[in-house]
Amino acid sequence: MGDYDVIVIGGGFSGAVMAERFANLQNKRVLVIEQRAHIAGNCFDYVNEAGILVHHYGPHLFHTNKSAVWDYLSQFTEWTPYEHKVLAAVDSKLVPIPFNLNTLEMMFSHDEAEALKQCLIATYGFDSKVPILELRQSPDAKLRELAECVYEKFFVNYTTKQWGCSPEQISPSVTARVPVVISRDDRYFQDRYQAIPKEGYTKLVAKILAHPNITVTLNTDATSLIKLDVQSRTITFKGQPFNGTLVFTGMLDQLFAYCHGELPYRSLQFDFQTLDLEQFQAATTVNYPNEHRYTRITEFKHILGQKSAQTTIVKEYPQDYDRLDPTKNVPYYPIFNDQNQQRFDAYKTLVDGFTNIITAGRLADYKYYNMDDAIANALNYFVAKDS
């Protein structure tokens, strides 16, 4: 097809940034195909009837240490500073997480907390972070007891609900994301840049995609329009040869018609409630590691400091992904283990057989990317091409 030089499948951050870079840096004509009714992927947000900015697919909090990512996005949005704090409901208390020295003092007696604090600092150093599974292997009996307490009360049940399996069955790259923090920093993230787009993520992505060379098509299943021939390594679009660049940000198993089997994911079910209260809870997010089927409740008005007589909350229920069930067919988290990685590698080998396909994003790379990771990867593709 001569109409477009680049076809981007997926209108989330990865696809939007790739589209903007091709259009802006290389003057390419770009078509973005999005299967949903909206852009911005899982970062999609909107103002609800109560006037509250709601994140449709659960809370998305932007944080990064990458100046290049911050500077890039700042071309398309103003920011509202926001540092995320999370509480956990444990032993009838609301205590800060990640587990830190403040949490320690709320969970133990003064003398116990002081002894454990000194031991942690002496062993690991002040302001360090220790993965909970590593702390369980400590040679110090007191620290092992602390680790077991944190593991049992904060970690194991939450992780089992989130992933549908025990922590030991999950890749260390995931469990390492849950540390014990040896400081009084109650922030959930410690990155240099922490803020929320002033008008929300959807408007930010819309501005990224506003280049005149970019056309966006919604409510369209790209796999019904694009066909790959693995043998001849050719691409057709609407039945005609396509020799331009295909950027794919979706699931590789879907792109290749599940020829090597399905890649498993965890999905989420959201229960939104708008309540006639000014405030429901003390923090944006409260985790429930041990009670209820849901893992956490988020109250959105905390994020932008919105004032309203009503408030909107969402409860999150983790579940298995099922592409055939409309209540479970949004893939959120790749499930990392050796078998799944081997299946993904088989699909990636098929992609690598084509010279004009670029994969980008959490789904296409089958990795857990934060927003800034996904954006940095897209930006770095063009840096690498220019070097």
Superfamily in which the 6-47+55-81+196-257+343-386 domain is placed by CATH: NAD(P)-binding Rossmann-like Domain (3.40.50.720)
pLDDT at 178: 74
Residues 335, 166 contacting (CB under 8 angstroms)? no
pLDDT at 37: 98
- φ/ψ of 24, rounded to 5, equals -80, -45
pLDDT at 337: 84
Q: Is the model's pTM score more than 0.85?
A: yes
Residues 6+ apart with CB under 8 A from 34: 10, 11, 15, 216, 217, 218, 219, 220
Each residue's pLDDT tens digit in the chain (387 positions)?
A: 458 999 999 999 999 999 999 999 999 999 999 999 999 999 999 999 999 999 999 999 999 999 999 999 999 999 999 999 999 999 999 999 999 999 999 999 999 999 999 999 999 999 999 988 889 899 999 999 999 999 999 988 998 999 988 777 777 766 666 789 999 999 999 999 999 999 999 999 999 999 999 999 999 999 999 999 999 999 999 999 999 999 999 999 999 999 999 999 999 999 999 999 999 999 999 999 999 999 999 999 999 999 999 999 999 999 999 999 999 999 999 988 889 999 999 999 999 999 999 999 999 999 989 999 999 999 999 987 665
Q: Could you state, in order of their start, the residue ranges of all structural domains in the chain?
A: 6-47+55-81+196-257+343-386, 86-181
Strand order of the β-sheet with 193-197 is 62-64, 193-197, 79-81
Name the CA dihedral angle for 208, 41, 381, 373, rounded to a multiple of 10 degrees: 110
pLDDT at 386: 62
Q: Quote the CA–CA distance of 197 and 203 in Å, as a whole number.
A: 8
pLDDT at 175: 65
pLDDT at 41: 97
pLDDT at 168: 74
pLDDT at 177: 64
Q: 3-class secondary structure for the chain?
A: CCCCCEEEECCCHHHHHHHHHHHHHHCCCEEEECCCCCCCHHHCEEECCCCCEEECCCCCCEEECCHHHHHHHHCCCCEEECCCCEEEEECCEEEEECCCHHHHHHHCCHHHHHHHHHHHHHHHCCCCEEEHHHHCCCCCHHHHHHHHHHHHHHHHHHHHHHHCCCHHHCCHHHHCCCEEECCCCCCCCCCCEEEEECCCHHHHHHHHCCCCCEEEECCCCHHHCEEEECCCCEEEECCEECCCEEEECCCHHHHCCCCCCCCCEEEEEEEEEEECCCCCCCCCEEECCCCCCCCEEEECHHHHCCCCCCEEEEEEEEEECCCCCCCCCCCCEECCCHHHHHHHHHHHHHHHCCCCEEECCHHHHCCCCCHHHHHHHHHHHHHHHHC
pLDDT at 1: 40
